[in-house]
Structure 1
Amino acid sequence: MSSLRAKIQDVFNEPACENNRGKDAKARKEGCSKPLTPGAAAGGCAFDGAKIVLQPITDVAHLVHGPLACEGNSWDNRGTASSGPTLWRTSFTTDLTELDVVMGQGERKLFKAIHEVKEAYGPPAIFVYPTCLTALIGDDIEAVCKRAAEKFGLAVVPVNAPGFVGSKNLGNKLAGEALLEHVIGTVEPDDAGPYDINILGEFNLSGEFWLVKPLLDRLGIRVRACIPGDARYLDIAGAHRARAAMMVCSTALINLARKMDERWDIPFFEGSFYGITDTSDALRNIAELLVKQGADPEILGRTEALIAEEEAIAWKKLAAYRPRLEGKRVLLNTGGVKSWSVVHALMEIGIEIVGTSVKKSTVEDKERIKQILKNDNHMFEQMAPRELYAMLSERKADILLSGGRTQFIALKAKTPWLDINQERQHPYAGYHGMVELVRQIDLAIHNPIWRQVREPAPWDCQPAVRQELSRTKNETATLQVVQEFAGTTADDFGEC
């Protein structure tokens, strides 16, 4: 536990974070997360955060050391996609019971489970996740993993992030520490080149990174490792030979980006692939970083030519949607990098932003929003369901973009809703992704169902019908009244 405590303190003291550098020593030790209520997880525990970051590594076996419920709670918790291996979709757990705890069988059972996974699946690596229970009873995960690696001849990586140590965001960073300590730098690639880059914090949600990677391929830029989206273990193990890096989600893996820069001289920048302008800026920044690292400057010209070509295609497709969407009002209830990148993307085609949440956004994210919106009046830390419902029911927004947890508020308010979070079914990254996002917004707003559900029911416009329904005392009579007025609308009865 002493090593875990040291890692947590190191994560809190993050010099790459501008906000953290401005704090005194005492404030840095407290970290950036809000204080938690005892027993609460504040949107996810550290174990959940670590699993989110590492599970998209597709050819690795992810073994949870703890009760069965911990694995069931975190399996497939993001809509990431794989272009090959499917091992990451298989759940592995030691399934500790009360008897195992009482008899002290935790470490023995973990060692046996590692052997069984190795024999049955032969993965290049096994990631082991301790949980609250196994951390509290004192199972030495690191010792078991070290012994198993020596005996079975494969990488066994301890991910020391039990749930009780902190929030989901802390778990994200502890997962990055596990990669630094046990994975990155353990394999020397034999094909390193001057155009190799790493993409950090990209989860390949709904396969959206596959809309970006072809652009990099056309420029001759190779993604040495995308961490974690659609990643392979050996690619991450050789990620230290990349020449530059782009960080997509700073709140998750900024410690990984900084330490890779310090150890292996891999400069990084934070960018976004959401929206036409941000995608173009990201491609330019990647090319410029590579040139600074020794690549041929001619890549700058090729990058500009590619940007000009792709932007022209995208704007031509978006032109059909502008008359239908210009002036439409969007309420964005998400967080992190999407709180500003999606805002910028939508404003490019004339959509008005009436509000954007900044619940999971960094100080830098909030500053970007202020620059884009010219003020902070449209930012809110969090909005209670009652307030959100009131805003939507009063038609202050034409559509809500959010995660699945708030969709029913929008539906109750009879307002169009579109999933923008990790459970979404459509990819929105890159030039083609931006066109798809606008297309989905257009489909949602102009769906004819909204006009129909907002119309008053016929019996609300005809008092006689309402009185007849209230008078009937049995289901048969009620059905007769309903059938009599079936197919009628409010127009048939005049205004209410």
Structure 2
Amino acid sequence: MLKEKVQELFNEPGCEKNQAKSASDRKKGCATKGLTPGAAAGGCAYDGALIALQPITDVVHLVHGPIACLGNAWDNRHAASSGSQLYRMGFTTDMGELDVVYGGEKKLWKAIRDVIADRDPPAVFVYQTCVPALIGDDIEKVCEAATEKFGRPVVPVNAPGFVGSKNLGNKLGGEALLDYVIGTVEPDDAGPTDVNIIGEYNLSGELWQVKPLLEKLGIRLRACITGDAKFRDVASAHRARVNMMVCSQAMINVGRKMQERWGIPYFEGSFYGIEDTSDVLRTMAKMLVERGAPADLVDRTEALIAEEEEKAWAAIRAFRPRLEGRKVLLYTGGHKSWSVISALHEVGMEVVRTSVRKATVNDKARALDLMDGDESALVGQIPAPEMYRMLEDGEADIMLSGGRTQFIALKARRPWLDINQERHYAYAGYIGMVELVRQLDKAINNPMWALIQKDAPWDADGVVHGTAVQGEEG
């Protein structure tokens, strides 16, 4: 069953990048290179499924496998919650050597029983990992029996790490929602302006920068899948009128299958960037009107866009004298490879390179357009020595990237700003772009850079505070 599910996802018809491949390439999946046994940390299917579903805040996320697979769950991606903190807790069956010999199904059953008695969650999500999958533990059967016994959903997430990449795991997590969650609860308050946002995880509270815009327009967020979500919200998501798919292709299968099963149209958009946020609001309003929302929604949306854009651009221009002419190395990927460039251009900054790792065909096309057709500005992996050289030689004044590459910038004595999921600041919507520019200003114009970029006194004259350098005469 898992093998068939994986092959189905490899042939996802809603993914343009997938459909552009040959039949043989589709069977290889989404990984750009083969997975190495023992070196899949942070990039395996289990990890992808967990990070996609863990932002459902009020359920227990129980990892069936060795304790090392769980790691440290608490706030590992800064997916914020407005209510329950249960999702931050780490629960695991902690399989050991004897469990490998005798099987782990009984241990899983006891863990489900105990966690329900202790935490009383509305549902339990059980994640399959490599070890129990290899020895043949049937988590679907255990979860089915537990659902019947304990009177609440126990959802199997069958995504052992060895089946593929993190991106595949995102989709397998989405399949678990489609098979066991979405459509299982009928809401009593469905309305003509209900929408779902799919593939948004409320990292550092980004959803909360967008939700007020929808509320001003009278648009209700039925469910965010999965940022700051509650189990009942996701279970009743099938009664929304429109789905928005955030630019990442992580859960494209959810949007497509919800359209097939419940007739909910979906569109793709991004809340990174002022113009892109406006495009999302326009598209959402138009589609809702076509589905029965009040006709004046489009006009009210245009009025809100004009008001918010004016405020955002005015705030961003205030930083232009301090940022104009500075050069940026943007090393992230996906839709962020292009979505923040327009804001950087507005303050007069120049993007010298943008990484298009994990980017779709559309992502690359939009990045190329923003870079004036300069294909050399679009790069994939950049070796660490090359990053260091660009920063050291002044080809870039600041690097925007994830935490793993921050020390390259710091070694080169150049500013760095976190743009990936571990960041502490939210950059979505109009106010998010203003916040991004504000953080850029704080990073670049910090007075410490003028000090640490100078030569040390002993490099200049060989003497430190009148004391001879070892091996030389004073």
State TM-score, norm by structure 1: 0.92
Worse-superposed segment, 463-472 or 422-431: 463-472
Deviation of 1:118 after TM superposition, in Å, equals 0.6
Structure 2 counterpart of 1:235: 233
CA distance in 1 between counterparts of 2:354 and 2:333 reads 8
- Following superposition, the deviation at residue 406 of structure 1 comes to 0.6
Number of the residue aligned with 1:383: 382
Decide which of 134, 137, 140 is 1:139's aligned counterpart: 137
Q: CA deviation at 1:35?
A: 3.4
Q: CA 1:35–1:464 in 2, change beyond 3 Å: closer, same or farther?
A: closer
Which structure has the larger Rg over C-alpha atoms?
Answer: 1
1:477 equivalent in structure 2? none
Q: Under a length normalisation based on structure 2, what TM-score does the superposition of the two structures give?
A: 0.96
Partner residue in 1 for 2:365: 367
Shift of 1:296: 1.7
Q: Within 5 A, what are the aligned runs for 1:253-268?
A: 253-268=251-266
Matches within 5 A, 1:70-85: 70-72=69-71, 76-85=75-84
Match of 2:165 in 1: 167
1:312 aligns with 2:301: no
| Residue identity in the other structure for 1:470 | Q
Output aligned runs, 1:337-416, within 5 Å.
Answer: 337-375=335-373, 376-416=375-415
Task: Indicate the residue corresponding to 1:462 in structure 2.
Answer: 461
Q: Which amino acid aligns with 1:94?
A: T
Letter in 2 for 1:385: A
Q: 1-side partners of 2:41 and 2:147: how far apart? A: 35
Counterpart of 1:264, as a letter, is W
Take 1:274 and 1:75, find their aligned partners in 2: how far apart are those partners? 26
Question: Is contact 2:30–2:167 with CA below 8 Å preserved after alignment?
Answer: no
2:317–2:346 CA contact under 8 A, matched in 1: no
Report how far residue 103 of structure 1 moved.
2.6
Aligned-pair CA distance for 1:343: 1.9
The offset of 1:73, in angstroms, is 5.6
Q: Secondary structure at the match of 2:298?
A: helix
Report the aligned-residue RMSD: 1.7
Structure 1 Cα separation of the partners of residues 29 and 96 of structure 2: 34
Q: Distance in 2 between matches of 1:12 and 1:97?
A: 33
Q: How does 1:96-245 map to 2 (within 5 A)?
A: 96-104=95-103, 106-245=104-243
Query: What is the CA–CA distance in structure 1 between the aligned matches of 2:49 and 2:420, rounded to whole Å?
Result: 18
Gaps of 5+ in 1: 474-480, 482-496
What is the CA–CA distance in structure 2 between the aligned matches of 1:149 and 1:329, rounded to whole Å? 56
Contact 1:274 1:345 in 2 (8 A): no
- Which residue of the partner structure matches residue 91 of structure 2? 92
Decide whether aligned partners of structure 1 residues 24 and 397 sit closer, same or farther in structure 2, where only a CA change above 3 A counts: closer
Among the aligned pairs, what percent are the same residue? 63
Q: In the alignment, which residue of structure 2 is the partner of 1:44?
A: 43
CA displacement at 1:237 relative to structure 2 = 0.2
Determine whether 1:328 maps to 2:326.
yes
Q: Which whole-Å CA distance do the structure 2 matches of 1:358 and 1:86 have between them?
A: 34
Partner residue of 1:298?
296
* Inter-partner Cα distance in structure 2 for 1:222 and 1:71: 35
Q: Distance in 2 between matches of 1:42 and 1:32?
A: 17
Q: C-alpha separation between the residues in 2 aligned to 1:463 and 1:198?
A: 65
Does 2:10 match 1:12? yes
Counterpart residue type for residue 44 of structure 2: C
Question: Quick one: which amino acid aligns to residue 170 of structure 2?
Answer: N
Partner residue, 2:63:
64
Cα separation, 1, equivalents of 2:35 and 2:65: 23
- Runs of 4 or more above 6 Å deviation: none
* Structure 2 counterpart SS, 1:30: coil
Say which SS state the counterpart of residue 245 (structure 1) adopts: strand
CA distance in 1, matches of 2:348, 2:194: 37
Question: Structure 2 unaligned runs (5+)?
Answer: none
- After TM superposition, the structure 1 stretch with the greater mean CA deviation from structure 2, 355-364 or 162-171, is 355-364
Q: Provide the rounded CA distance (Å) in 1 between the counterparts of 2:459 and 2:429.
A: 48
